[in-house]
Structures are given as structure tokens and as C-alpha cells.
Amino acid sequence: MDGVSKASDIIVGMHTKPSFHVGGIPVYGDLILAPMAGFSDLPYRSICRSLGSSMSYTEFVNVDELSKGRSGSPRARQKLCYTSNERPVAFQIYGHNVERIVSVAQRLQDLGPDIIDINMGCYVKKIAERGAGAGMLRKPDLIADLMDKLTKVLDIPVSAKIRLGWDNDNRNYMDVARALHDHGASLVAVHGRTKSQAYSGRADWDAIAEIKQALSVPVVGNGDVRTVSDIESIKTHTGCDAVMIGRAVIGNPWILQRRDRQEVTLPDRLDLVRKHLALNVDFYGVEKGLVLFRKHVARYIEDTPAGVRKIRVPLLTCERVSDFEELLCSLGSEIKGPIGASV
């Protein structure tokens, strides 16, 4: 991970004083890569930290997976790998059983994260309907109990990422936010939709603003941030301490530099693709690293001109790093200047 080994130093250097604190932990900067299953792994977090993400959240991990054996399943442990230059780093976990969440969080603290974050926003049916993720939103009393127990046994801050409720008939976000705040949460990140909405409709920034006005801990706003202007809009509208960006960062990490993707030249884009691929191969090995990288490269080049898109299929199927590099070289000879200008 040497290519981005000074990511946290770069972020701190860009800001002379912390933007906010999580407990006693200073955070420099107001943009954060959202935790996303299959995307916010160590390689991509490293890329995003180097471009401006102010802290790192791991992919969410099921506490049941972390309860297997003495140290959890290999897949679960890999999701919690991080480097020291990512700090502050939050381990995001989810589950439906309070005692198991607390037990796992205690063990995870020994791995050195700065923060334990509880996912209360995942809308996926098999998770939410078991009472985990957004399923927890239906039980503010259980959330209060969980926070009481976590803050009692942990020496590091606890945070949570929530939605506005289960559905439009159960928008209990203020009850949930107060349960978190009053029982020890050091930060609350809010996606401005309900569980039933998933990503449909518009994010309710008014609700995020209401939460921000009611809490004394940092509130992070999330939802419908796709452009640089959206960043400033949600901050102005909600007063949030920071902005968490998820889907819009995939294939466009430059938004964390406050650069819209149409401003990014092809050479800049290809340079980052190469760095990202190298990090993937270094972390996962050649075979798995290439396979997992395909979904990223598809997004990196999705708005390129027709002359470039013709090599999309070969890029998504090549099995050797040398073949990938050859294709990237041919890609670089196709066009020059900002990519969006040719679309």
C-alpha cells in the first residue's frame, strides 16, 4: 500500500484544525467514503483516503461471522484489515442480538480500531427482517440498551449509521437519534431515506437537519450527493458536520477532492486505475484481485466515448495484469482531455 501510504498525513495537512471530533478523536476534513459491501475494502479505502476521505469505515461485517472459531471466519477478518495511515478507522458491524454484538465489539477493540460503528441502515431483506441493519430501527429501546452496554465495556467511541425509519408510516428517526445520543453514541450518520425506500425517491434532507439540530454530537449527512455542488447544498441545508458519499464515489473517487468526474482527464483517470489495480493485486493476489477489480473498472470507464468503450469487454475479462496494462495503454491513445467532454 506504499502508493497511498501517507493518506492520513495528506488529509491532516490540508486542514489546519479538526473539522469535528468523534469522542476525543479529531477528524480532519468533511467528506467520508461510505461503508459499502463489496466496494469499501482496503484497496479502495486507500485510494479514497489519498483523495480526501477524512476517515475510513470498513465494509460491514456480520457479528455471527466474527463469532466463528477464536477469531472469526477468514472472509470476515479480511474485511477488517486496515493500515495505520487510514486512521481514524471505524469497524462497522451488524447483528440483531445485543449480547453477541457487545461480545464481538469487545474482542474487536483489541485489533486497534478507533471507533466501533453499528450498521442500522442496511435495507437488504435477509438482514433487516431478522432485526439487524435497518431492522433495529423498529426498536429504539433495544438500541438504547445496546448503546448502554457498548459504551460501558468499550474504551473507544461508538457510532451508528441509520435511516429515517422502517417505512413512511414509521419514520421514527428522532426516537432512534435520541436513543443513540442519550445513551452514549459519539457520532450519528444519517441516510435520508427509510428502509422501504432503499434508494428510490429523494433523500429527506429536512429530516437530517432536524436530527442535527437535536443532537450535540457530530451528525453526518448522506443521500443524493452526486456532484460537488450537492456537497455544499446538503451541508448548507442540514448543517451537518460532514458528508458521507456512497454510490457516487464508485468510479468517481475524485468527488472527494471536490472535482466532478467530467473535469478529470483521461490520463488522470488511467493513472488512478493503475494504482487501484496494483493495490487490489497486492491485497488479494493476482487472480482474485483482477476479478474483484472488474466492477471498479466498469465504473471508471462507463462515461467514456464509443471509441474507448469498444475495449470494455476485454478489460472485464482479461486474466493477466500485463494484458490489463496493454489495454490501458491502448485506451490512453484513444482520446485526450476531460472525458466527459466527449460523451
Q: Residue 131 region, left (φ>0) first, then alpha (ψ -120 to 50), else beta?
A: left
pLDDT of residue 6: 56
- In this predicted structure, the answer to whether residue 73 has a pLDDT above a threshold of 90 is no
- What per-residue confidence (pLDDT) applies to 265? 85
Q: Which pLDDT does position 4 carry in this prediction?
A: 53
pLDDT on residue 333: 58
If pLDDT is split at 50, 70 and 90, which confidence band does 3 have?
very low
Across-strand partners of 256? none
* Section 256-274 average pLDDT: 91
Strands 61-62 and 242-245: unpaired
Beta-bridge partner residues of 191: 222
CA–CA separation, 13 and 6 (whole Å)? 10
Q: How distant, in Å, are the alpha carbons of 39, 42, 56, 132, 321 from that of 49? A: 14, 10, 7, 29, 24
Is it the case that residue 100 has pLDDT exceeding 60? yes
Whole-number pLDDT of residue 306:
56
Interatomic CA distance for residues 288 and 286, integer angstroms: 6
Peptide bond into 88 cis (omega under 30): yes
Q: Is it the case that residue 281 has pLDDT exceeding 60? A: yes
Among 79-83, 99-103, 274-278, 329-333, the minimum mean pLDDT is found in 329-333
The pLDDT value recorded for residue 339 is 38
Residue type, 5: S
Q: How confident is the model at residue 314 (pLDDT cuts 50, 70, 90)?
A: confident
- pLDDT at residue 10 above 60? no
pLDDT of residue 103: 96
- HEC profile of 233-269: HHHHHHCCCEEEECHHHCCCHHHHHCCCHHHCEHHHH
The mean pLDDT of 51-58, rounded to a whole number, is: 98
Active site residue 48: no
Domains of the chain, each with CATH number or no CATH: 2-259 (3.20.20.70), 262-342 (1.10.1200)
Length reported for the chain: 343
Q: Half-sphere exposure (CA, 13 Å, Cβ side) for 169? A: 0
Residues 91-113, mean pLDDT to the nearest whole number:
97
- Provide the pLDDT for residue 182: 98
- Going by their DSSP bridges, the two strands 56-57 and 61-62 should be labelled as unpaired
Q: Across the chain, what does the average pLDDT equal?
A: 90
Count Cα neighbours of 304 within 13 Å in the Cβ-side half-sphere: 28
Q: Over the stretch 289-311, which tens digit does the pLDDT of each residue have? A: 999 998 898 888 777 665 466 77
DSSP letter string, 46-99: HHHHHHT--SEEPPPEEHHHHTSTTT--HHHHHHT---GGG-SEEEEEE-S-HH
Q: Is it the case that residue 194 has pLDDT exceeding 50?
A: yes
243 to each of 64, 118, 192, how far by Cα in Å? 30, 18, 12
pLDDT (0 to 100) of residue 341: 34
pLDDT at 79: 95
Average confidence (pLDDT) over 178-183: 98
DSSP string of 307-320, one letter each residue: HHHTTHHHHHH--S
Question: So what's the pLDDT on residue 157?
Answer: 98
By the 10 Å C-beta count (0-12 exposed, 13-18 middle, 19+ buried), 131 is classed as middle
Asked if 44 and 276 count as a contact pair (C-beta separation under 8 A), the reply is yes
Q: Catalytic: which of 48, 122, 240, 318?
A: 122
At residue 233 the predicted structure's pLDDT band, cuts being 50, 70 and 90, is very high
- Report whether pLDDT(247) > 90: yes
Identify the weakest region by mean pLDDT among 60-74, 128-142, 214-228, 232-246.
Answer: 60-74
